[in-house]
Amino acid sequence: MKLNPAALLCTMVALMVATLTVQATVVNLATSFEQPVMTEGGGRTLLVEEITATWCPTCAEIDPELLQVADSHGSRITLLALHPTDGLDAFQPEASQHRIDRLALTNPEVAQSTPTFVVESGEPRRGYDAWADVQRDILNAELARQNVSQLDVEVVKTERGYKASVIHADLITTNETQLTLMVMEHGKSMPDGVVNPGGDHRDRVVVGLAECALDNHTITTSIGLFDATVEDTCEASFSVEFDAMDSWSVLLVHEPTASGLVAGEDAQSHGAVELAFRDRGMTLSESNGVGTVLLVACGMLAMASIVRKK
Q: Do 108 and 124 form a contact (C-beta atoms < 8 A)?
A: no
State the DSSP string of 48-92: EEEE--TT-HHHHHHHHHHHHHHHHTGGGEEEEEE---SSSSS--
Q: What pLDDT is recorded for position 310?
A: 47
Q: What pLDDT is recorded for position 14?
A: 46
Neighbouring CB atoms inside 10 A of 166's CB total 24
Q: What pLDDT is recorded for position 174?
A: 96
Q: What pLDDT is recorded for position 6?
A: 45
Q: What pLDDT is recorded for position 72?
A: 80
Short-list 297, 282, 222, 307, CA closest to 64: 282
Q: What pLDDT is recorded for position 308?
A: 46
pLDDT in tens, the chain (310 residues): 444 444 444 444 444 444 444 456 899 999 999 999 999 999 999 999 999 999 999 999 999 888 788 778 778 999 999 999 999 999 999 999 999 999 999 999 999 999 999 999 999 999 988 989 999 999 999 999 989 999 999 999 999 999 999 999 999 999 999 999 999 999 999 999 999 999 999 999 999 999 999 999 999 999 999 999 999 999 999 999 999 999 999 999 999 999 999 999 999 999 999 999 998 764 434 444 444 444 444 455 445 444 444 4
Q: What pLDDT is recorded for position 21?
A: 42
What's the pTM? 0.85
The phi and psi torsions of 80 (rounded to 5 degrees) equal: -105, 135
Q: Do 188 and 95 form a contact (C-beta atoms < 8 A)?
A: no
**Residue type at position 268:** Q
Going from N- to C-terminal start, the domains of the chain cover 1-23+285-310, 24-279
Short-list 281, 275, 277, CA closest to 246: 277
Neighbouring CB atoms inside 10 A of 136's CB total 12
Q: What pLDDT is recorded for position 12?
A: 46
Q: What pLDDT is recorded for position 256?
A: 98
Q: What pLDDT is recorded for position 1?
A: 43
Distances (CA, A) of 117 to 35, 50, 103, 184, 286: 36, 4, 11, 17, 25
Q: What pLDDT is recorded for position 24?
A: 66
Question: Is the CATH number 3.40.30.10 carried by domain 24-279?
Answer: yes
